[in-house]
């Protein structure tokens, strides 16, 4: 850096100014597509929307450290394993690869694998593999590939296939990143703002991330309970920042509800059903969900207490699922026993409609892995440490009941275990104890660390299994199409079994 001025001025104040010169591709920097593809975007032409986007972090640090030649490359299997755990990578996402290599930054030889001046043939460091990059760029439609090493191609590369593939798709590269261990696998928003060099092939970049308190992780870091007893909920009645949501029949709500509670029905959080749509209960899109919950006075910091009016235990869990999908699950409690438990505790009810709620403000931090689709359930059936769980009553699981002809192929998803939703509750509608719930999961063949994907007829009963799985610390997903979709698919793609026996391998693959 050249000093142009530094010191006190004749007017008595201090002034300094400097000039600097830097290569485009040194330090933490951006690779514009034109770097490896003639006619593609230059640094100043990369849209801002491509540089401020949701990010996922794929962690291969253990594999990179174990590689004998320090040249591990991300594989297609690595990407699919990530998606099995966290959901399909969405179009427009930034994919950041954590190899752990930034820890070597202060040691040039360790970071690059060699320090021979002018000789790049001996470089050794991990990065993306071309097959994985092709999957991410061509099939997933990601916008950015970033890595905590010197290049999005691994050290020994001399033909740079990942650079060329990315550039052809106008995908940006970010190199020499650091602190990726501080980001969650999903949920962060990354902002990569380069020096806007007109016509440049890259440039220095400042990369920062907004990290939500919830990013799709299992139940940790909560500051409200999953299940709240009536007495504890009653103590919060009337407090600012607390919203009660009532699930049930509107006539029942009009007759008696918790003072100030807002009425919500499943239609408000469901996708409108169009003519010819075979699926009856599908979660609404994120924009619609945000509008619905904001209209009920809910904001990011609101403590939501959801309860059922009579015996609507599963719809209440469905509301939890919708909020969890938006990234608000850590702020939601389920009133144990619903309105009957509230009234049995001598707490007040009213028939008066509450005043209109001031509109809330929600910043959606989607947990896309929570919403399982047909393809992800097919993969989950045979994935290790994963349990597909049927929440329907046993006569549907066994195939004895075809739901009055609704199921062309009765039975259950091959490999699924049975946990009827009703077994999770006492006759009074309270949740069983955590130890009892763990025993139910264990007896069904669900491992303590398993990812739990629940389904039922249409996705409603499965919401209760989803809620309990989250409460017990599992990563949880809900197959929204459920058996209503699975049973209509060909047997070759969607195998079905009958009977009630649950082989040990079903829950422990």
- Per-residue pLDDT reduced to its tens digit, 26-42: 999 999 999 999 999 99
Query: CA dihedral defined by 164, 168, 169, 174, rounded to 10 degrees?
Result: 40
- In whole angstroms, what is the distance from residue 90 CA to residue 56 CA? 9
Q: Is pLDDT above 90 for 120?
A: no
Q: Report how far apart the first and last C-alpha atoms of the chain are (Å, whole number).
A: 59
User: If you compute the radius of gyration of the chain from its CA atoms, what whole number of angstroms results?
Assistant: 27
Concerning whether 21 is annotated as a catalytic residue, the answer is no
- Helix ranges restricted to H, 381-447: 394-398, 434-444
CA torsion sign for 456, 458, 461, 463 is: positive
State the average pLDDT over residues 473-480: 92
pLDDT, averaged across the chain: 89
Q: Residue 311: what pLDDT?
A: 77
Question: What are residue 418's phi and psi, to 5 degrees?
Answer: -110, 120
Active-site pick, 372, 456, 471, 472: 456
Q: Residue 249: what pLDDT?
A: 92
pLDDT band (50, 70, 90) for residue 220: very low
Q: Is pLDDT above 70 for 214?
A: no
CB 323 within 8 A of CB 284: no
Q: Residue 437: what pLDDT?
A: 94
Pairing status of strand 417-418 against strand 496-497: unpaired
Across 71-147, where does the E strand assignment appear?
A: 73-74, 94-98, 127-128, 144-147
CA torsion sign for 18, 24, 27, 32 is: positive
Q: Is pLDDT above 80 for 377?
A: yes
pLDDT band (50, 70, 90) for residue 91: confident
Q: Given the structure tokens 């040194």, which residue do they identify?
A: 26
pTM: 0.60
For residues 96-135, b (16+ Cβ closer than 10 Å) or e, as one string? bbbbbbbebeeeeebbbbeeeeeeeeebbbbbbbbbbbbb
What domains can you pick out in the chain, each with its CATH number? 29-210 (3.50.30.50), 227-344 (3.40.250.10), 368-507 (3.40.250.10)
- In whole angstroms, what is the distance from residue 297 CA to residue 303 CA? 11
- In whole angstroms, what is the distance from residue 475 CA to residue 370 CA? 8
- In whole angstroms, what is the distance from residue 112 CA to residue 133 CA? 21
State the average pLDDT over residues 433-456: 93
Q: Is pLDDT above 80 for 63?
A: yes
Q: Residue 318: what pLDDT?
A: 95
Q: Given the structure tokens 């209209």, which residue do they identify?
A: 295
For residues 276-304, b (16+ Cβ closer than 10 Å) or e, as one string? eeeeebbbbebeebbebbbebbbbbebbb
């Amino acid at each position: 850096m050249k000093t142009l001025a530094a010191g006190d001025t004749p007017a008595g104040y201090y002034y300094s100014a400097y000039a600097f010169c830097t290569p485009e591709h040194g330090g933490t920097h951006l690779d514009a597509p034109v770097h490896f593809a003639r006619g593609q975007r230059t640094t100043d032409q990369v849209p801002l929307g491509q540089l401020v986007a949701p990010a996922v972090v794929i962690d291969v640090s253990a594999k990179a450290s174990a590689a004998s030649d320090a040249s591990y490359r991300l594989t297609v299997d690595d990407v699919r394993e990530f998606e099995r755990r966290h959901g399909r990578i969405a179009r427009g996402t930034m994919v950041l690869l954590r190899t752990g290599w930034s820890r070597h930054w202060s040691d040039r030889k360790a970071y690059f694998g060699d320090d021979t001046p002018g000789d790049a043939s001996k470089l050794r460091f991990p990065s993306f593999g071309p097959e994985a990059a092709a999957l991410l760029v061509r099939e997933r439609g990601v916008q950015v590939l970033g890595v905590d090493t010197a290049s999005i191609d691994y050290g020994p590369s001399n033909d740079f296939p990942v650079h060329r593939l990315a550039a052809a798709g106008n995908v940006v590269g970010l190199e020499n990143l650091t602190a990726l261990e501080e980001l969650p696998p999903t949920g962060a928003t990354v902002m990569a703002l380069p020096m806007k060099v007109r016509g440049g092939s890259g440039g220095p970049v400042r990369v920062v991330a907004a990290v939500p308190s919830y990013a799709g992780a299992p139940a940790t870091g909560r500051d409200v309970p999953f299940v709240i007893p009536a007495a504890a909920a009653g103590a919060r009645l009337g407090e600012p920042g607390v919203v009660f949501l009532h699930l049930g029949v509107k006539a029942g709500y009009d007759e008696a509800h918790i003072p100030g509670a807002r009425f919500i029905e499943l239609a408000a959080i469901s996708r409108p059903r169009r003519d010819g749509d075979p699926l009856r209960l599908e979660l609404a899109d994120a924009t619609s969900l945000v509008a619905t919950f904001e209209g009920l006075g809910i904001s990011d910091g609101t403590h939501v207490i959801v309860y059922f009016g009579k015996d609507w235990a599963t719809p209440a869990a469905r509301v939890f699922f919708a909020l969890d999908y938006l990234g608000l699950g850590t702020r939601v409690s389920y009133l144990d026993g619903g309105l009957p438990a509230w009234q049995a505790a001598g707490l007040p009810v009213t028939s008066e409609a509450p005043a209109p709620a001031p509109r809330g403000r929600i910043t959606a931090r989607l947990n896309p892995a929570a919403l399982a689709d047909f393809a992800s359930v097919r993969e989950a059936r045979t994935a290790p440490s994963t349990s597909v769980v049927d929440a329907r009553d046993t006569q549907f699981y066994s195939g004895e009941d075809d739901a009055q002809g609704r199921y062309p192929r009765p039975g259950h998803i091959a490999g699924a275990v049975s946990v009827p939703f009703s077994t999770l509750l006492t006759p009074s509608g309270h949740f069983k104890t955590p130890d009892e719930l763990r025993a139910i999961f264990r007896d069904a063949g669900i491992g303590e660390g398993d990812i739990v994907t629940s389904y039922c007829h249409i996705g409603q009963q499965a919401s209760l299994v989803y809620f309990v799985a989250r409460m017990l610390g599992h990563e949880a997903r809900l197959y929204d199409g459920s058996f209503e979709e699975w049973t209509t698919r060909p047997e070759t793609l969607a195998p079905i079994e009958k009977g009630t026996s649950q082989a040990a391998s079903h829950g422990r693959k």
